[in-house]
Structure 1
Amino acid sequence: EVVGYATCSPEVSTWDGCEYLHMDCLFLRDGTRGAGLGARIMDAVADTARGLGLTEVQWQTPVWNEDAIRFYDRLGARAKEKLRYTLPVAADGDA
């Protein structure tokens, strides 16, 4: 039974001028949190980055996700301030 996972991919940051591993999602099923699984998954993500020769993992979490923020802070991760924008693009032929 899968109770948690992380998805990630190598990316290039034009802002920082370096490659990194981007973690798009870290998920743990309710009822499984607090048992150390998140830290084990993060260890696996860090191992993946090292295996690819990358020295950094980056990800985002919403400001309202206080549990995730506390978890990431406990890991020693450092938050970077920035705004995330989305721009809806109408399909061809839509007004």
Structure 2
Amino acid sequence: MISRPVTISDPLGVHARSAALLARAAEQFESSLWLSCHGERVSLARRLDVLALGVGQGDEVLVLADGLDEAEALEAIADRLAHGVEPFDG
């Protein structure tokens, strides 16, 4: 398992649309992906759980990945969180 801290830059934080896009992006990888913030850790595949974390702009989150493509998955998800979540095209 590997992890990387990320500071959220989006003024809206992690909102409904970004949580859905993160879940879709996570589905593209073999690895399991989690997001940790405010003392809780949730699977990125569960968009409502991600949304329930209440991640706001400036919050530091920890992205965790475990699996065969964990390095690629971690980089893709962490980059999207750091620079704004956009649709993932594989």
TM > 0.5 between the two?
no
Larger Rg: 1
Structure possessing the higher relative contact order (Cα contacts under 8 Å, 6 or more residues apart): 2
TM-score (norm 2): 0.30
TM-score (norm 1): 0.29
Choose between structure 1 and 2: higher helix proportion. 2
